[in-house]
Amino acid sequence: MEDRIQINGVWYKREEEAPVFESAPVVLDVTNYIGKVAESGLYCFKAEKMYKDEINGELYSGVDIEFTDKRKLGEWIEDLWDNDTWMRGVLNDDPDALKELRKSVCERGELEFKAFLKTLVNEGWL
């Protein structure tokens, strides 16, 4: 089989398919984290903080909250909340922060989320 071909006076070299690295070792950068979960019949709030330096116990400053709305059976809605400023605004009854929160939760959910945030503040997470 030829390794090259001429088209309109120009020579082209055949390219091989890129090799498949199925046997190459898989190396992933895995980050550990710690978490807290609060769940009621209506909602679930799962907070996570990632380690910056696990040996020294140093954590990144931000907190991520995985929110699950369980009010509709079989149609749970999940969202990720990662804005610490917004979370503090909710705790401080900032009208804009509360307006955003109320798009996702009922009055009871607002109370539950604030209680969860207070726990995070008391433990130095927020």
| pLDDT value at residue 51 | 93
By C-alpha distance, which of 69, 77, 73 is closest to 113? Answer: 69
Total tally of structural domains belonging to the chain: 1
- pTM beyond 0.85, yes or no: no
What are 47-56's pLDDT values in tens digits? 999 999 888 8
Over range 7-21, report the average pLDDT.
78
Is residue 51 in a domain?
yes
What is the C-alpha separation between 126 and 120, in angstroms, rounded? 6
By C-alpha distance, which of 103, 2, 120 is closest to 62? Answer: 120
Residue 71 structural domain: 32-122
Is residue 19 in a domain?
no
At 119 the three-state DSSP class reads helix
Is residue 118 in a domain?
yes
Residue for token pair 């709305």:
69
Is residue 27 in a domain?
no
What are 53-88's pLDDT values in tens digits? 888 889 999 999 999 999 998 899 999 999 999 999
Is residue 56 in a domain?
yes
